Amino acid sequence: MRVKKIDLFADLFEKENGIPEIYKGAQFANTLIKCYPQPNSIPEPSVYSIKFVPAYLTFPLTNSTLFHSKIIPQVKGYSANLDGYSEVNSYVKNQFKSNSKTIHRYVKRLESCFNIEYAMYYGEIEKKTYDFIMDSLADMLLKRFRQLNTKNESDSKWEHTRNVAYNLILKKRASLFVIYDDNKPIEISLNFHFYGILFSAISSYDIDYSKFGLGHVEIFKQIEWCLENDHLVFEMGRGDLDYKRRWSNQIYYFEHHILYRKNSFLEACWSLKEAYLGRLKLYLKSKNIHTLYYNLKSKISGKSYINHQSVEYKVEALQTPPSTENLIKLDSNTEEFAFLNKYIYDFLYSTITPISQVEVYKMEKENTFIIIGSKASVKILPSTN
Per-residue pLDDT of the chain (385 residues; tens, 9 = 90+): 788 899 999 999 998 888 888 888 888 766 666 555 455 544 565 799 999 999 999 998 888 888 888 999 999 999 999 999 999 999 999 999 989 999 999 999 999 999 999 999 999 999 999 999 999 999 999 888 787 766 666 667 889 999 999 999 999 999 999 999 999 999 999 999 999 999 999 999 999 999 999 999 999 999 999 999 999 999 999 988 999 999 999 999 999 999 988 888 778 887 888 887 878 877 677 666 655 555 555 555 555 444 445 578 899 999 888 888 888 999 878 888 888 999 999 999 999 999 999 999 998 777 899 999 988 999 998 887 4
pTM for this structure? 0.88
Q: Angle 100-113/341-351 helices, nearest 10 degrees?
A: 120
71's enclosing H/E stretch is: strand 67-81
Whole-number Å distance between alpha carbons of 10 and 224: 25
Closest by Cα among 182, 117, 229 to 355: 182
Confidence at residue 187, expressed as pLDDT on a 0 to 100 scale: 98
Cα–Cα distance between 175 and 123 in angstroms, integer? 8
Give residues with Cβ within 8 angstroms of 306, minimum separation 6.
Answer: 146
Pinpoint the alpha helices (H) of 114-205. 127-148, 158-170
CA dist., res. 357 & res. 340, Å (int): 16
Q: Say if CB 82 and CB 227 are below 8 A apart.
A: yes
Taking every pair of C-alpha atoms in the chain, what is the biggest distance, in angstroms? 90
Indicate the class that CATH gives domain 84-231: alpha beta
Domain boundaries, the chain: 3-75+252-291, 84-231, 313-382
C-beta separation of 371 from 377 below 8 A: yes
DSSP string covering 262-278: TT-HHHHHHHHHHHHHH
